[in-house]
Amino acid sequence: MPVCCPTKLFMKQDRILIIGAGGQIGAVLTEALREVHQPDNVIATDLRDLGEQEGPTDVLDALDGAALEALVKKWRINQIYHLAAILSANGEKNPLWAWDINMRSLFNVLEISRQRQLSKVYYPSSIAVFGREASHFNTPQYEVLIPETVYGISKVAGENWANYYYRRYGVDVRSIRYPGIIGYQSMPGGGTTDYAVDIYHYAVQNKPYECFLSAHTRLPMLYMPDAIRGTLELMEAPSNRLSVRTSYNLAGMSFTPEEVTASIRKEVPAFKITHKPDFRQAIADSWPASIDDSAARNDWGWKPEFDLDAMTRDMLFHLAAKYQVENVRAPMQ
């Protein structure tokens, strides 16, 4: 018998449940969390079967509180990343349905976290919390919140419930207001910023793209690697450094369809785009053009790494491999 054992043998492993792991962000975040916490400690769930993965998966409807509780017990979960939601454009097609899913799933997560005293919860919010009354450029952390979509209304309510559970019950809920997220690994799920992913898929295949926003619509955006790193950094930050318990503004870059087209043409000169704005134009017009993220920078050291051209090179390089296109060069590091 050893006299004493190394402390790390007794250290508690985090067991993480991801809800909405099959989505645009969830698919990439699951892999990142598995790298940090070991695959077996990260349980990926979604409405649909996620198929064979490196770690455990399960089917979970986040509206089913009993099923959520059973999974939390079964896997001895102590952290939840709640990513399931109906996004801005899809939500406008059926507002009461979107409200029901976004809010009821959040209440199930907050309640199980309170009852079982989970150590941390992650709940993303969005730039959709802002509306036309907010400052359009460099929108501050603390700003009037009058969103024009049901998605935005649900995120404002969700942020406030997160804050309430933190202050009233001590549930350590952490949140980021993501801008439009752009990545090559997964497809977006029905938002207003989806064009900024689609456009790269068309460009790399030498297909013309019809954009559903006008050429001059400026929106805040963030490249997936920065979004994932920012999420992990927030979740690792000491609790006493976090002054914002609603949701942190986060910025990466800010561009228009015209500017991303110009960036793509540096790599794919023949790329063609036309514009045919639809109902998503009004949503985009109600959102900020750029975001002030100084609270995230000051509290937990947030700093994005990718600008528009660096993202374009990386997106095109990876999508060229996916579509087996040969004329796109590797990005300069």
**CB nearer to ligand SER: pick between 128 and 268:** 128
Task: Compute the distance between CA of residue 74 and CA of residue 136 in angstroms, rounded to an integer.
Answer: 46
How many residues sit close enough to ligand NAD to count as binding (CB under 6 A)? 30
How many residues sit close enough to ligand SER to count as binding (CB under 6 A)? 9
Q: Is 226 left (phi over 0), alpha (psi -120 to 50) or beta?
A: alpha
Q: Rule CB under 6 A: which of 135-154 touch ligand SER? A: 151
Task: Compute the distance between CA of residue 161 and CA of residue 164 in angstroms, rounded to an integer.
Answer: 5
Asked whether the beta carbons of 33 and 42 are under 8 A apart, the reply is yes
Among 105, 192, 231, 246, interactor with ligand SER by CB under 6 A: 192
Task: Compute the distance between CA of residue 143 and CA of residue 61 in angstroms, rounded to an integer.
Answer: 34
Task: Compute the distance between CA of residue 217 and CA of residue 195 in angstroms, rounded to an integer.
Answer: 11
User: Residue 81 catalytic?
Assistant: no
Per CB under 6 A, which region of 30-38, 93-101, 190-198, 237-245 contacts ligand SER?
A: 190-198
Per CB under 6 A, which region of 165-173, 191-199, 290-298, 317-325 contacts ligand SER?
A: 191-199
Joined tokens for residue 202:
């068309």
For the chain, the distance separating the N- and C-terminal CA atoms, rounded to the nearest angstrom, is: 52
**CB nearer to ligand NAD: pick between 195 and 271:** 195
Helix or strand (DSSP H, E) at 120: strand 120-122
Taking residues 36 to 75 in sequence order and writing x for each that binds ligand NAD by CB under 6 A, - otherwise, the string is ----------xxx-----------xxxx------------
Binding residues (CB under 6 A) for ligand NAD: these are 19-20, 22-26, 46-48, 60-63, 83-85, 87, 101, 105, 124, 126, 178, 180-181, 188-191, 193
- Catalytic residue numbers read 151
